[in-house]
Amino acid sequence: MNVNYDRVCRLCLSSRCELLPIFPTTSSDESDPPVLALKIKDCVSVQISENDDLPTNVCRKCMDNVNNWHIFKAVCERSQNKLLSLTNKDSSQLEELNIKSEPQSDGAYDD
Protein backbone atom coordinates (compact mmCIF):
# COMPACT_ATOMS: atom_id res chain seq x y z
CA MET A 1 0.00 0.00 0.00
CA ASN A 2 1.47 3.32 -1.08
CA VAL A 3 0.58 6.24 1.12
CA ASN A 4 1.43 9.80 0.26
CA TYR A 5 2.29 11.07 3.73
CA ASP A 6 1.78 14.68 2.67
CA ARG A 7 -1.86 13.99 1.83
CA VAL A 8 -3.20 11.87 4.69
CA CYS A 9 -4.30 12.62 8.20
CA ARG A 10 -1.85 11.28 10.77
CA LEU A 11 -4.67 10.07 13.02
CA CYS A 12 -7.39 8.67 10.75
CA LEU A 13 -5.51 8.30 7.42
CA SER A 14 -8.22 10.20 5.58
CA SER A 15 -7.07 11.74 2.34
CA ARG A 16 -10.36 13.32 1.31
CA CYS A 17 -10.32 16.44 3.42
CA GLU A 18 -8.47 19.61 4.24
CA LEU A 19 -5.30 18.86 6.18
CA LEU A 20 -3.80 21.05 8.85
CA PRO A 21 -0.20 20.94 10.09
CA ILE A 22 0.51 19.37 13.46
CA PHE A 23 3.69 21.40 13.72
CA PRO A 24 3.35 25.14 13.09
CA THR A 25 5.68 26.57 10.48
CA THR A 26 6.35 29.59 12.68
CA SER A 27 6.58 29.72 16.43
CA SER A 28 7.07 32.53 18.90
CA ASP A 29 9.68 30.44 20.66
CA GLU A 30 11.45 27.51 19.04
CA SER A 31 11.85 25.83 22.43
CA ASP A 32 8.05 25.65 22.89
CA PRO A 33 6.75 22.16 22.15
CA PRO A 34 3.99 22.00 19.53
CA VAL A 35 0.67 22.26 21.33
CA LEU A 36 -1.32 19.98 19.02
CA ALA A 37 1.29 17.20 19.20
CA LEU A 38 1.17 17.36 23.02
CA LYS A 39 -2.63 17.24 23.03
CA ILE A 40 -2.58 14.21 20.73
CA LYS A 41 -0.12 12.43 23.01
CA ASP A 42 -2.13 13.37 26.10
CA CYS A 43 -5.48 12.31 24.65
CA VAL A 44 -4.78 9.28 22.49
CA SER A 45 -1.27 8.27 23.56
CA VAL A 46 0.21 8.65 20.09
CA GLN A 47 3.72 10.09 20.20
CA ILE A 48 4.28 12.43 17.27
CA SER A 49 7.63 13.86 16.32
CA GLU A 50 8.53 16.10 13.41
CA ASN A 51 11.38 13.75 12.60
CA ASP A 52 9.57 10.40 12.67
CA ASP A 53 9.05 10.31 8.88
CA LEU A 54 5.29 9.87 9.31
CA PRO A 55 2.49 12.23 8.28
CA THR A 56 2.64 15.64 9.94
CA ASN A 57 -0.90 16.75 9.16
CA VAL A 58 -4.32 16.08 10.63
CA CYS A 59 -7.76 16.59 9.21
CA ARG A 60 -10.13 19.17 10.67
CA LYS A 61 -12.35 16.45 12.17
CA CYS A 62 -9.46 14.81 14.04
CA MET A 63 -8.13 18.17 15.19
CA ASP A 64 -11.58 19.10 16.53
CA ASN A 65 -11.88 15.70 18.22
CA VAL A 66 -8.48 16.07 19.89
CA ASN A 67 -9.26 19.62 21.05
CA ASN A 68 -12.68 18.59 22.38
CA TRP A 69 -11.26 15.51 24.08
CA HIS A 70 -8.51 17.59 25.65
CA ILE A 71 -11.10 20.02 27.05
CA PHE A 72 -13.28 17.14 28.26
CA LYS A 73 -10.30 15.47 29.94
CA ALA A 74 -9.39 18.72 31.72
CA VAL A 75 -12.99 19.11 32.95
CA CYS A 76 -13.00 15.53 34.24
CA GLU A 77 -9.67 16.00 36.01
CA ARG A 78 -10.86 19.23 37.68
CA SER A 79 -14.09 17.52 38.74
CA GLN A 80 -12.17 14.58 40.17
CA ASN A 81 -9.88 16.89 42.13
CA LYS A 82 -12.86 18.86 43.45
CA LEU A 83 -14.63 15.65 44.52
CA LEU A 84 -11.51 14.37 46.25
CA SER A 85 -11.10 17.71 47.98
CA LEU A 86 -14.72 17.61 49.16
CA THR A 87 -14.32 14.02 50.30
CA ASN A 88 -11.24 14.95 52.31
CA LYS A 89 -13.11 17.86 53.91
CA ASP A 90 -16.07 15.60 54.69
CA SER A 91 -13.72 13.04 56.26
CA SER A 92 -12.13 15.72 58.43
CA GLN A 93 -15.53 16.95 59.56
CA LEU A 94 -16.66 13.38 60.23
CA GLU A 95 -13.58 12.72 62.36
CA GLU A 96 -14.33 15.88 64.35
CA LEU A 97 -17.90 14.76 64.81
CA ASN A 98 -16.78 11.33 65.95
CA ILE A 99 -14.45 12.84 68.49
CA LYS A 100 -17.17 15.14 69.79
CA SER A 101 -19.71 12.32 69.96
CA GLU A 102 -17.63 9.97 72.09
CA PRO A 103 -19.53 8.84 75.20
CA GLN A 104 -18.84 10.94 78.26
CA SER A 105 -17.48 9.19 81.33
CA ASP A 106 -19.54 9.13 84.52
CA GLY A 107 -17.04 11.42 86.18
CA ALA A 108 -15.11 8.59 87.82
CA TYR A 109 -11.39 8.56 87.24
CA ASP A 110 -9.14 5.55 87.40
CA ASP A 111 -6.26 6.55 89.67
Instruction: Return binding residues.
Output: 9, 12, 59, 62
Binding residues for Zn(2+): 9, 12, 59, 62
Three-state SS string over 49-60 comes to CCCCCCCCEEEH
Contacts of 15 (CB under 8 A, 6+ apart): 4, 7, 8, 9
Q: Give the torsion sign (CA, 5, 2, 45, 40).
A: positive
Measured between alpha carbons, how far is 51 from 48 in angstroms, rounded to an integer? 9
Question: Which residues face 58 on adjacent strands?
Answer: 20
